[in-house]
Structure 1
Amino acid sequence: MTRLYNDPVDFADEMIDGFVAANQNQVRRVNGGVVRSTHTPENTVAVVVGGGSGHYPAFGGIVGQGLAHGAAMGNLFASPSAHQVETVAKAADRGGGVLLSYGNYAGDVLHFTQAQDALNAAGIPTRTVAVTDDISSASPAEKNKRRGIAGDLTVFKSAAAAAEEGYSLDEVVRVATLANERTRSFGVAFTGCTLPGAPEPLFSVPEGRMAVGMGIHGEPGIGETDVPTADDLARQFVEALLAELPEGIEQAEGQRVGLILNGLGSVKYEELFVVYRSVSQLLDAAGVTIVDPEVGELVTSFDMAGVSLTLFWLDDELERFWRAPADTPAYRKGSVRATEQLDATELDVDVEEIIPESSIESQKAARTAYLALEALLEVVNENVEELGRIDAVAGDGDHGIGMQRGARAASAAALEALSAGAGAETLLHRAADAWADRAGGTSGALWGVALKALGSELGDTDKPTAAAVGAGVQAATNGILTFGAELGDKTMVDALVPFSDVLSREIDGGATLADAWNTAALVASDSAAATASLLPRVGRARPHAEKSLGTPDAGAHSLGLIVTAIAAVLRDATAKETHND
């Protein structure tokens, strides 16, 4: 379990602050993560990596000369927000364009894709390569659905070494794509991990048993067996990875591979070396030459007891990049050329935004929006443990704390905007950015999009009407639907779409906003409860489909709670308006 922490909500931020303080010769803190503290030549492609915190040395630990130029670091097991990724990328950019690379998880894909679009729109050429090395997470025919685990390192290092050699953005992308295609990983777990403040692990493995193919957040693999001997585990690893050779490699014999034997947190180095002894013998017997093996902790998961093996099938170019020197807080190889330290003033920083002018009517609406966010936070706080429990049935159990982080940040940002005289649009936009930044993950992206869309419809100058609110909710729904979920997938969408449809129908029929919202909230709650009978078809819960039957979707359930709480705020606001009239 994780024993040393203050407020669990602040753990990731405090961890990053301490990490930077301990490694000032290699990294500097920027909003959303870290960048190199050393000079990078002009017109060099910047390789920016990232993902959730809790996996050190991924991702900040591999920022430095010869490896990543920056890392966007989200909350624990939650992707960084698009704004955080964009900020880190701008700070790392040296004029040669940016490659964003990350493990293939839904929240990361959403946020990094949004950041890519924003960076391209800002005139910074940006591309992405998602890492898909975990062979247990999908079949070869669906490689695009595979997770990224310890094989992240081979892709990040290859891309960064290519950038160091002066490759163009297109060429760096080519190298990263090839490295990903030639990387295969397979992992096992013996126990789960416990997040700071959590009373129990995110998942468990029966005593004396081993989960085969389990992911780094407890995602399911392909089965469960008794815990083997070290030699038997090595044999399972090698047989599984040699059974799936990358395209273009006809046989293993005669090939050269980079290798990572990765510990996930609680398996000790001595144990890893015992396993590696057998791995090396088996690969040698298969005619495979190991090049610069890495045995240790490269991607962890707090106190999770697990091990993974990664094989990186090399050609001459990839071998040169795999062997290239690097100097980062957690990964060193060879000798890099000494480089001057950056001055703090050389890093891009966020410019404080001015509150736009707004009408008195919009400021009144902004106050109602703030009260709605306060009610939202209160209901999330009251149900945070239940939301986590529901999510843990088929997910990683972090929905409650993620919603709590997001709601708390959104409420604080809204209060600050309200105090500064913001209108409804500005207040909701500030709340949206704060929610996405603080919560990260898929829910952070969804709620960020929803609040921003609603704010854009309300504006800062006009008195918001019921029709404008209805249009805003519809815009929020449309924005969320662009992420790919559909009705019946067992997601937030299964409650949101009925809510939006009923709200618009009631408003069009002449109902007041408060009455229309209340009617729609009842429908949303019923729809959320009905997700208990569905099987998930997308997202992290998909592989756990059968386990989730009988339990509602956590995102749909939280939406039902939230819109119900907001209905009371709207009723109070309507009563006050009537009294004042």
Structure 2
Amino acid sequence: MSYVLNDAERFADEATTGFVAAHRDVVRHVPGGVARATATPPGEVAVVVGGGSGHYPAFAGLVGPGLAHAAALGNVFASPSAQQVHGVARSVATEAGVLLSYGNYAGDVLNFGLAEKRLRDEGVPVRTVRVTDDVSSAGPDERHSRRGIAGDLVVFRTAAWAAERGLPLDDVTDLAFRANDRTRSLGVAFSGCTLPGAAEPLFTVPDGQMGVGIGIHGEPGIDTRPLPTARELAVLFVETLLGERPDDVPAAEGARVGVILNGLGSVKGEELFVVYGAVAELLEAEGLTIVDPEVGEYATSFEMAGISLTLFWLDDDLEQAWTSPAYAAAYRKGAVRPSGPRLDDDARDPVETEDVAPSADGSAEAGRIVSAAIAAVRDVIDRDADELGRLDAIAGDGDHGIGMQRGARAAAEAAEDAVEAGAGAGTVLVRAGDAWAHRAGGTSGALWGAGLRAAGERLGDGAAPAPADVAEAVHAARATIQGFGGAEIGDKTLVDALVPFAEALAAAVEDDDALAEAWTAAADAATEAARATADLAPRLGRARSHVKRSAGTPDPGAISFARAMTAAGDALARNHEEGT
């Protein structure tokens, strides 16, 4: 658990403020995260990394010479929003372009992808390398689907080394891909972790047992085994990772490897050294040469008791990158220091808003109704956040309730501010969507934000929307969410509730039902469909690796969507009654 905090919702922001204050020689505040204290040299590719907070020293602690140029920092265990990634990248980009690199998690993929598109539209050259080192998260034939854990350090170091040599963007990208292709990791945990302000851990491990294949966001392991000795654990690590030797390494004997033994939060240094002694003996017995091993904390999960081992199979270029100097807040090697004048902090909110344009009277009234509906969504999510988190913890990382709560609260506040400024329905939805995406982060935050924005852009502010307009706006939201997330009916995601909702609403409106009545019927269809996801096997997202755990449990994203639509329908019904 977290013993020291002020406000759980502001924990990540306050931690970033304190981090910058403690390391002003290395980093500065920028919109959406932190960047090197000094400017990116002209003509140098900027390496921009990022992910959720709660993993220090990843990601803020890995910014500095020899490492990343900047890091986008999401909320606790939630990906940074697209706005944050864009703001951070713009703060360090040069004409040489930007390389985005991050762990392969659905929320990060979605938000970094949206930011990449925006940067490209602005003329910034961009490439992306996702870190996929965790062997437990998918089989060898699906390496592209694996998640990133402590191997982030390997890829970030390699990309930064290539960038600082002045290599062009394509070459920097190629080397980062090569580093990722030659990196393998496996993690175990002896206990779960608790998010700041939460009363219970995201998951638990039975006494005397160990979870194998654990993720850094509290994802349950793929297996539970009796607690091993340090040597037995080293054997499990080494045998598993040697069995995953990269295809372009012809034989283990004689190969050179970088090694990271990573503590996930509460395993102490002396314990790590006990394990590392056995790891080193086993690797050397296989004829491997260990190069610059790293033993310590590099990617953590709050107070989780756990360890991961990473092997990085070197070639000449990759070994130069791995052994090169670096100077970041949490990682220093060789002789290098920041050079050049320190730039000023820029802690602006990355969500930029323009003044509200005048709207038609009918649309302004509709904006008030939309704001009331979003407030109703906020209230039901506040009520059910803990339950949604427990549902998510069964086969995911347990943060769905907290993420939805952050997003709904931010959306409701933005909607109220927009109404006070005289905004119409379209602008209210757009502002609410942007706020939701920014504050929630993660997959659900990005999808809800994109969906609300798409609905708002379809409605506009020109006149009071008719029921058919609302149905078309919901259809636009559905198309956008499915387009970004790639989910279909049957994948066990919020789409399993969204599609029946959109179809039922369109059918009821076509039958000339009043909007409140049509919406209620559609919410009922979404609720029934959400419950039915208990019978589905997940095909996307983090639950995909835990099919057995997920069996019999409905998808939390579908459940939260159905409850949100029911609450919005109740608000519409109340408005209809008050109007009559």
Question: Fold conserved (TM > 0.5)?
Answer: yes
Secondary structure at the counterpart of residue 136 of structure 1? helix
1:127-168 deviation digits (Å, cap 9, x = unpaired): 111100011111111101111000010001100110011011
Q: Secondary structure at the match of 2:130?
A: strand
Query: Does the aligned pair in 2 maintain the 1:91–1:347 contact within 8 Å?
Result: no
User: How far 1:342 sits from its partner (Å)?
Assistant: 3.1
Mind listing any 5+ residue stretches in structure 1 that lack a counterpart? none
Q: Provide the residue aligned with 2:75 in structure 1.
A: 75
Partner SS state of residue 135, structure 2: coil
Rate the CA distance shift 1:157–1:3 in 2: closer, same or farther, 3 A.
same
How many Å apart are 1:347 and its aligned residue? 9.3
Deviations 1:471-506 (A, max 9, x none): 010111111112111111111111110110010011
Residue in structure 1 matched with residue 412 of structure 2 by the alignment: 411
Q: Does 1:457 align with 2:453?
A: no
Distance 1:558 1:221 in 2: 25
Is the CA contact (8 Å cut-off) linking 1:91 and 1:348 kept in structure 2? no
The answer to whether the 8 A contact 2:31-2:346 is kept is: no
**Cα distance change on mapping 1:251 and 1:464 into 2, 3 Å:** same
Aligned equivalents of 1:513 and 1:42: distance in 2? 56
* Identical aligned residues as a percent: 58
Which residue matches 1:216? 216
Query: Match of 2:74, SS?
Result: strand
State the AA in 2 paired with 1:498. Answer: P
Q: Where does residue 469 of structure 1 map in the other structure?
A: 470
Measured in 2, the distance between the counterparts of 1:50 and 1:172 equals: 18
Residue 183 (structure 1) aligns with? 183
Output the amino acid matched with 2:325. Answer: P
**Displacement of 1:375 after TM fit?**
0.5
**Is the contact made by 2:159 and 2:175 (CA closer than 8 Å) also made in structure 1?**
yes
Aligned to 2:354: 353
User: Match of 1:363, SS?
Assistant: helix
CA contact (8 A) 1:403 1:439 kept: yes
Aligned to 2:555: 553
Matched, 1:169 2:162: no
| Alignment map for 1:366-381 (pairs within 5 Å) | 366-381=367-382
Structure 2: state its 5+ residue gaps: none
Measure, in 2, the Cα distance between the counterparts of 1:237 and 1:37.
Answer: 38
TM-score by structure 2 length? 0.97
Q: Which amino acid aligns with 1:238?
A: V
Distance 2:237 2:103 in 1: 21
Moved more, 464-473 or 390-399: 390-399
TM-score by length of 1: 0.97
CA shift digits 1:243-276 (9 cap, x unpaired) = 1211211111111111111000010001111111
Q: Number of aligned residue pairs: give it.
A: 578
Aligned mate of 1:572, from 566, 571, 574: 574
Moved more, 460-469 or 315-324: 460-469
Matches of 1:215 and 1:165, distance apart in 2: 33
Post-superposition shift, 1:337?
A: 4.8
Question: 1:145 & 1:343 partners in 2: Cα distance?
Answer: 38
Partners of 1:189 and 1:210 within 8 A in 2: yes
Deviates more, 1:351-360 or 1:376-385: 351-360
Q: Distance in 2 between matches of 1:166 and 1:435?
A: 39
Match of 1:333 in 2: 333
CA contact (8 A) 2:64 2:338 kept: no
- The one-letter code matched in structure 1 to 2:546 is H
Indicate the SS of the match to 2:127.
Answer: strand
Deviates more, 1:89-98 or 1:528-537: 528-537
Kept after mapping to 2: 8 A contact 1:161/1:324? yes
Q: Residues 264 and 300 of structure 1 are in contact (CA less than 8 Å); yes or no, is this contact kept in structure 2?
A: yes
Distance in 1 (CA, whole Å) between partners of 2:553 and 2:192 is 22
**Range with bigger deviation, 37-46 or 67-76:** 37-46
The answer on whether the counterparts of 1:30 and 1:349 sit within 8 Å (CA) in structure 2 is no
2:343 and 2:447 map into 1 onto residues whose CA distance is: 37
Aligned residue for 1:191, secondary structure, equals coil
Give the distance between the partners of 1:121 and 1:446, measured in 2 at CA: 21
For residue 312 of structure 1, give the secondary structure of its aligned residue in structure 2.
Answer: strand
Q: Tell me the equivalent position of 2:446.
A: 445
Give the root-mean-square deviation of aligned CA atoms: 1.5
CA distance in 1, matches of 2:489, 2:60: 38
Work out the CA distance in 1 between the residues paired with 2:575 and 2:346: 48
Deviation at 1:525, TM superposition (A): 1.2
Q: Any conservation in 1 of the 2:29–2:347 contact (CA below 8 Å)?
A: no
Mean Cα deviation higher: 548-557 or 160-169: 548-557
Residue 315 of structure 2 corresponds to 315
1:39 CA drift (Å): 2.4
Runs of 4+ in 1 over 3 A off after TM superposition: 345-352
* 1:346 Cα deviation from its structure 2 partner: 8.3
Kept after mapping to 1: 8 A contact 2:222/2:546: no
